[in-house]
Structure 1
Amino acid sequence: MRAPDRPSAFTGDNARDKYFTAYGRVLGELWPVPVEAIDVETRAGSVRIHRAGPAEGDPVVLLAGADGNALAWYRYIEPLARMRPVFAVDPLGEPGRSVQTRPLATGAEVAGWLTDEQVRELSVPVQVLLGARSAVHDARAVAARLAEIAPSWRVEIVPDTGHALPVEAPDLITERILTFPGQTRAEIATPVHSTDRG
């Protein structure tokens, strides 16, 4: 498939307006909590972030996968926002309210702003949940890589789930988010594990 040579965009003003109308309606119907829209400028465009929940507390950042946007997290917003500040992101290059201004031709460019060194410098607690049967990546290889560059991160491989883990196991994910980072220091010291019994 040929790499894109221009930023992702709507075909015209009419298409954009129709999409934004539908987007706003879905946001209002599915998100039962007040939401603040924040636009953050990056080197590849303006990123729309929806903020909900209290002003204080450990924040939760929700990033949608390919072909998704912040609306995909509608099942999670109400239970999470009761306890934590929540930031749901519309990724650049995907349908949503973010505005891409330069092409992102490869996966490396999409995530190019986050280098291994920047990952190592993150000082906040991080938890990663991986679907054991993802067809997109090797969950054990990803866990091993994260253990190498970010040994303090908590990484869990969830059995019997694929790449659509948020859709397949919403209750488990909500529970993991709300109880994190409450684990003990000993648990942090050995972060990579699997709940798979097989």
Structure 2
Amino acid sequence: MLGEFPDEKTEKRFFAVYDDILRRWPVPAEEWDIETTFGPTRVRRCGAERGTPIVLLPGGRGASLSWYPHIAELAQRHRIYAVDTIGEPGRSVQTAPLENSEDCADWLSEVLDGVLAGSGHEKVHLAGVSRGGWLSLNLASRNTERIAGVVTFEASGFGVIGRSFIWWSLGEIFRWFLPKWLLRLIASGDPEARHILRPLLFAALEYRDQLPEMHLFGDDELASIEVPTRIVVAERSVIHDAREVAARLESLNPHIRVEVVPKATHGLSLERPELVTTRILEAARERHADAAD
């Protein structure tokens, strides 16, 4: 089974919103499709050509456009590749099913091959939010041939997602409809970004995905990661216990560092956009310094 919209009208409504937000993309960008076993994957390339390239993977149903609040600063310092995840709403076109975690790793590996081809670089830095974080760690635990380093924000794979997430999501949906002045009073982050991305979020909710379950990472998987990895989790996360994640990983793998962000929730990338941008740049800068040494 392949991911799809329920009807043509719903699909057109989503892409009308998608294209409207794309016109707001804050830096010049080039788009192209990377051919993979699972279908052509849309990638948006922008930014400076110096430093290690950074590949951005969005959370579920967010598409590459969900990186809108971060892209201007990131693109000042690095070549950025923002990906529409296969099997999710976006400009990527799924032609074969993703059956399991190995398929997900194969797809991302093929995308990185396409990104690196002709780039003059041998590796990229991966940055992922939620499901994008899971995809990053899933590949890094299997093969780091193309990966310089990984940074994730509220990555899935460290706890069972249940009712707490549903209740949190309902509260977030309510907040997305609040006026900007009220959002400034009760929610962290830039209310303008929420209002810009809101139509995309709700248009994407009608997409029928057919994705494999995101398995929980075992100790052996995480211990096998051989590149510098930052795992940033929210103190008030509803998909795992942040302190337990930190305690578990503290001595498991010297390549992994965990940061718990006080008072933040699973919406970390919107609540603390400056922190997310800074951590991505720090991780890439550290890798560049290590390579120079």
Shorter-chain TM-score bucket reads 0.7 to 0.9
Match of 1:25 in 2: 20
1:179 correspondence with 2:282: yes
Residue 16 of structure 1 pairs with residue 15 of structure 2: no
| Residue deviations 1:140-196 (CA, integer Å, cap 9, x gap) | 555545974x63244323222222211111011112222334459xxx9xxxxxxxx
Match of 1:169 in 2: 272
Q: How does 1:51-130 map to 2 (within 5 A)?
A: 51-104=45-98, 108=101, 111-113=104-106, 114=139, 116-119=141-144, 121=145, 124-127=148-151, 128=230, 129-130=232-233
Give the aligned partner of residue 194 of structure 1.
none
Consecutive unaligned residues in structure 1, runs of 5 or more: 1-5, 189-198
Counterpart-to-counterpart distance in 1, 2:22 and 2:96: 27
Letter in 2 for 1:26: I
- TM normalised by structure 1 equals 0.73
Partner Cα separation in structure 1 for residue 150 and residue 89 of structure 2: 27
1:196 aligns to what?
A: none
2:236 matched residue in structure 1: 133
Do 1:132 and 1:159's aligned partners in 2 also have CA atoms closer than 8 Å? yes
Measured after TM superposition, the shift of residue 139 of structure 1 is 3.7
In the alignment, the residues of structure 2 paired with residue 28 and residue 87 of structure 1 have an alpha-carbon distance, to the nearest angstrom, of: 17
**Distance (Å, rounded) in 2 between the aligned partners of 1:153 and 1:41:** 32
Deviation at residue 14 of structure 1 after TM alignment: 4.8
**Higher share of residues assigned helix:** 2
Displacement after TM superposition at 1:72 (Å)? 0.9
What is the distance in 2 between the residues matched to 1:59 and 1:112? Answer: 19
Contact 1:49 1:89 in 2 (8 A): yes
**1:192 aligned partner:** none
**Paired amino acid for 2:236:** R
Which consecutive residues of structure 2, in runs of 5 or more, have no partner in the other structure?
107-138, 152-229
TM value normalised by structure 2: 0.52
Aligned 8 A contact 1:91 1:98 in 2: yes
Taking the aligned partners of 1:110 and 1:156, their CA distance within structure 2 comes to 29
